[in-house]
Structure 1
Amino acid sequence: MSVFLTACGDDGGGKATGATNPSTNNTTNDDTTEGTAGETSTGGPDQTTSGTTSTTAPEPTSSATGGESTTTDGSSFITPPDGGGGAKECDQWTQDCPEGQKCMPYSGDGDNAWESLKCTPVMENPGQVGDPCTVEGSGVSGIDNCDKGNMCWDVVEGVGVCVALCVGSPDAPDCAAPMTSCLISNDGVLTLCLPFCDPLLQDCPGDDLCIPNPQNPDAFLCVLDASGEEGQEYDACEYINACDKGFTCANPELAVECDAMAIGCCVAFCDMTEAGVCTGQNAECLAWYEMGQAPPGFENVGVCGIPQ
């Protein structure tokens, strides 16, 4: 199962972002994704998740409003937290389940998207953050061998890795684990702490993408690649993790080569110090951060586009 992040609406300026927390990619039946931005420890070269600056690059709009849609290959889309969704038998923020159980997101309607919460058993000798893990059934069953407050993520053929759930509250999400950012999605039931990364280095493990946190585009985090056969430069996109590594789903206004009627368009990250890195017509490397607002080490991060 592949998880897709929705792109967020265009506020007239600002970064390409998503309206949901986080998620990533999974394959066929067994994958999951990550959480929202909260004030947390630094990632990359002192990257933090608490910034609220905007960039010169306009963001994409999105028609996704909730629910779960499916691609032709059976992949699942992560949808914005809109207060609706399935049954919520417990609170993953307070972990209010009985002793020996934990509150977990799961799919209660038989599809491949998390829309509900329930209490599930904490297994004997449970896994901690970073440990390999297994799930019972599929990656959306809600039953795994990770410890309380953790979830088995990026599940392929029943095996994944334990990642932490966000702490705090929906209004003040945070991550206890260093070098991670909280991503919240799927009506608020999926709350994962995902690792920080550098969009110019694309230093995420395996095929994971380094893209802006949909809830805080000043922070970049690792998510699963849901682009499939699409996602090349100037391809249309509706979800922020639907572009290939090194690209981000942005407003089509950024490039003549983009379909102006598309919800979003895959455009390249670029290094502000390198001349001629952008190949599009009239395109320049536009600063991701406002002057003086970039975290240390991220001053050169840009995105290719036509100045607005």
Structure 2
Amino acid sequence: MRVMSKSLIPCALVSVLLSACGDDGGKATGATNPSTNNTTDETGGATSEADSETGPSQQTTTGTSGPEPTTAPATTSEGTSTTEGSFITPPDGGGGTKECDQWTQDCPDGQKCMPYSGDGDNAWESLKCTPVMENAGQVGDPCTVEGSGVSGIDNCSEGMMCWDVTEGVGVCVALCIGSPDAPDCAEPMTSCLISNDGVLTLCLPFCDPLLQDCPGDDLCIPNPQSPDAFLCVLDASGEEGQEFDACEYINACDKGLTCANPQVAAECDASAIGCCIPFCDTTEMGVCTGQGSECLAWYEAGMAPPGFENVGYCGIPQ
């Protein structure tokens, strides 16, 4: 569980925000509107190593029929948790300083363009050139940050950043490639998530919402910018997030649930922005507990990526 920040992205904005935390364990916040993104999977795989033999493959498709997603992962800011991670929060209306372009990596030799917090609010809103350390880490390598999780200084290679930092240690993830209008990911089995007014451009790993096969407490939820792609984000539900709880952010529900339109369940507060409902397997009977609810297919007939044909959500047939 994570402690939610005071400011989060309303579902109606369909905005995505990701943030990091300082070495002191405090949470950071960030804000940005998402851009349309593409999903890359050259191998057709979308499973974790733990489920590589039976898990489904995932690719970008069109014509999904899942419940209208709210917004993407939420961020944390205050609290006593020692985990420093990525969550979502709403735009604060401010604009950061952009000293470089993370898409073209136009910094001088030996430096890289990195997001950082320049206004002291622990939210990534700016870009600057920072040194590329010797023996810099590659995608998937453990990494460390200098100062705090939003300092922009780490020991990952150019085009990468240290992500999901806990007690100063995280993992190197790739930044998106291409352009804001045509984002992509070079790494297979990842999906590009753009947030914080375009400052954060991360290639996050695919996952299976039925297996919830993300590492640790991370959630497997639909990419708000591409609902056909499910990716791993941090749990921002705090003490809430149970089935039928009100939610405003797509990662504000417990593992196995997603924040959707409250009209999908009779138990949901119709006046809420969103409501936590469970994923389900359409081949299993009696798995949904809501009044009049059934396991409805996430994808339209014939549109599911291979291996995702059974992905569903509990809701009232419309």
Question: Structure 2 counterpart of 1:236, which letter?
Answer: A
Residues 271 and 300 of structure 1 are in contact (CA less than 8 Å); yes or no, is this contact kept in structure 2?
Answer: yes
Q: Which segments of 5 or more consecutive residues in structure 1 lack a partner in the other structure?
A: 11-17, 63-67
Report the CA distance between 1:52 and its aligned residue: 2.7
User: Structure 1: how far apart are the matches of 2:142 and 2:71?
Assistant: 37
- 1:200 is aligned, of 206, 210, 216, to 210
Distance change in 2, residues 1:7/1:268 (3 Å): farther
Structure-1 separation of matches of 2:71 and 2:195: 17
**In structure 2, distance between residues paired with 1:254 and 1:57:** 8
Please list the CA deviations of residues 19-67 of structure 1 after superposition, one character each: whole Å capped at 9, or x if unmatched: 32x647868336799x97414114232201x3232315234489xxxxx
Given that residues 37 and 213 in structure 1 are in contact (C-alpha distance below 8 angstroms), is that contact kept between their aligned partners in structure 2?
no
The answer to whether 1:29 aligns with 2:26 is yes
Is 2:241 aligned against 1:237? no
Secondary structure at the counterpart of residue 112 of structure 2: strand
Q: CA deviation at 1:258?
A: 1.0
Whether 1:148 and 2:158 are equivalent positions in the alignment is yes
- What is the rounded CA distance, in whole Å, between the counterparts of 1:191 and 1:30 in structure 2? 19
Query: Who is 2:168 aligned against?
Result: 158
Q: CA deviation at 1:78?
A: 2.9
CA RMSD of aligned residues (A): 2.9
Letter in 2 for 1:268: P
- 2:38 maps to which residue? 38
- Which of 277, 286, 299 is 1:289 aligned to? 299
The Cα of 1:83 is off from its aligned counterpart by 9.5
**Pair 1:24–1:138, CA change in 2 (3 A):** closer
1:139-164 deviations in Å (ceiling 9; x for gaps): 11100000000000000111100000
Contact 2:39 2:229 in 1 (8 A): no
Count of equivalent residues: 293
In 2, Cα distance between the equivalents of 1:25 and 1:177?
A: 22
Give the match for residue 211 of structure 1.
221
Paired residue type of 1:126 = A
Summarize the Cα distance change of 1:26–1:140 in structure 2 as closer, same or farther, 3 Å threshold.
Answer: closer
Letter matched to residue 40 of structure 1: T
Q: Determine the structure 2 residue equivalent to 1:175.
A: 185
Alpha-carbon contact 1:251-1:265 (below 8 Å) kept: yes
Are the structure 2 counterparts of residues 216 and 81 from structure 1 closer, same or farther at C-alpha, using a change threshold of 3 Å? farther
1:9 aligns with 2:6: no
How far does residue 307 in structure 1 lie from its aligned partner after superposition? 1.5
**Take 1:304 and 1:224, find their aligned partners in 2: how far apart are those partners?**
22
Looking at structure 1, the residues matched to 156 and 86 of structure 2 have their Cα atoms a distance apart, in angstroms, of 23
Superposed, which structure 2 residues align to 1:55-70 within 5 Å? 55-60=65-70
Please tell me whether the aligned partners of residues 60 and 249 of structure 1 are also in contact (alpha carbons under 8 angstroms).
yes
**SS of aligned partner of 1:146:** coil
CA distance 1:71–1:151, change in 2 (3 Å): closer
Contact 1:102 1:148 in 2 (8 A): yes
> CA offset at residue 238 of structure 1?
0.8
CA shift in 2, pair 1:122/1:135, >3 Å? same
1:100-149 Cα shifts (integer Å, max 9, x gaps): 10000111111121111111110111011000000011111100000000
Q: Which amino acid aligns with 1:29?
A: G
Q: Distance in 1 between matches of 2:21 and 2:275?
A: 22
For 1:103 and 1:268, locate their aligned partners in 2 and report how far apart those are by CA, in whole Å. 39
Contact kept in structure 2, 1:26 and 1:224, CA below 8 Å: no
